Each structure stands twice: as C-alpha cells, then as structure tokens.
Amino acid sequence: MKMKYTLLCFLILLSGCVESPTQEKASFDDIISEDIIDGDVSEIVEDTFVPPPTVSITLRIGHFTASGFFIEKPAEVSVPTGGGWGYTQVAAKLDVPEEFKVDFLRVMFTSDRVEWLATDMSGSTTVFLDEELCLDTGLQCNDIVPGASESGYFETGGSFDERLAITNVHCSPTELPYELTITAFVVDICYPLAVIASEEAHITINCVQKD
C-alpha cells in the first residue's frame, strides 16, 4: 500500500496543466556526439538557444463600469478636504502569446508607498507613513500598500474579446500632494511552481488636494 501511495505521488508531481513555455521538457531525439563535433560546443548552444516567450503588459488609469467598459481618466486624483480619501482604478491589458493559457495568468499589483493606519474605538483612522509614529498613538496599527492586489485576467463583457486585470487605488490625505507609482507584472500559475511571465510595467498617479 505504501509503495502504491509513493507511486501515485510521483505521478502527480510529473503531471502539469499544460506544457510550459518557460519549462519545456528536454528532447532527446537529436543527440550530438562529441566525437563528430568539430568546434566549440558553447557556440552551438548559443546559436540554437531560443528565449522563452513573455507576456506584454500595459497599464491605464480610469474607472471600470458596471457594463464592463474601462473609461480612461487623467492621472490626477483629487482628495477631499476634511480627511477624506480619493479613489481611482488601474487596468492591465496583456498581449498573451499562444503558448500561455490566459485563465492561468495572474497580474500582481503593488506601489511604492506604505501607509500605517491607526484605528480608534470609534472606527476613525489616522494615516501615518512611519510605523513608530503610528504605534506611539497607542492604537492598533495596520500597514497597507495602496493598489496592492492580485487579479485574474478576466473577460469584462464590455466587448467581444476584451480582457482586463484591475486593481483599486486610493490616495490618502497624508502629506499631499504626492506621486504614487503603481507597478504590475504577470505570473503564470499553471505549474506546480508559479513563474514570472512578464517584465514590470509602471504608471504614476498624482494625488492632490481637492480645490
């Protein structure tokens, strides 16, 4: 029974959802003997190496409507007076090579700003950019990265073949005005080990005080 269980685990590890463009199985159909090679083997390897395909990613700022359309908006987000927050959304559009399966792609969003939220008994929050200053209040402090999320590449329903990945982004009132840079990249989760499948893309949001 133990041997059968071991064999089953081994077979599961060998199986994947699809052949990976970045982890193709080695082929042994064409074996070149050293005895018949006249020259540097490294030159042959360099000449025949084909880099794996990658997904291209572009970012836009705007608003995703209930009807499935993404309406682009300016990069400037107004923050209301009196401690309110401003909001926008960032959409990622991918150019996916045929080697990938879009349902197994995930877009990872993050930004270059970390905030600490101190919450009092009434539920009111104060935003700090330093953890120690937040803890000095004696209140519970939680860190948050504006725009940080993981999104699938989903069909929007706004057009026949439109797919997007979307994240929500906020601008807090602390130390306005400031620039907030959103970074996104694609991960292929098709295999037992997820692999990064794109370069990073960046877009900058300007957080300003509402007039």
Question: Do 205 and 179 contact (CB within 8 A), yes or no?
Answer: yes
pLDDT on residue 26: 41
User: Residue range 131-147: average pLDDT?
Assistant: 96
Pick the CATH number of 56-112+145-209 from 3.40.50.2300, 3.40.1390.20, 2.60.40.10, 3.40.50.720: 2.60.40.10
For residue 148, give the H/E element and its range.
none
Q: Which residue has the tokens 């026949």?
A: 160
What confidence score (pLDDT) does residue 25 get? 39
pTM above 0.75, yes or no: yes
Location of structure tokens 């990938």: 100
User: Between the CA of residue 71 and those of 100, 102, 110, 162, 178, what are the distances in Å?
Assistant: 28, 23, 21, 13, 24
**Contact present, 131 and 102 (Cβ < 8 Å):** no
In angstroms, the CA 184 to CA 111 distance is 9
Backbone phi, psi, residue 60, to 5°: -135, 150
pLDDT at 83: 85
Q: Please, which residues bridge with residue 152 across strands? A: 106
What per-residue confidence (pLDDT) applies to 85? 96
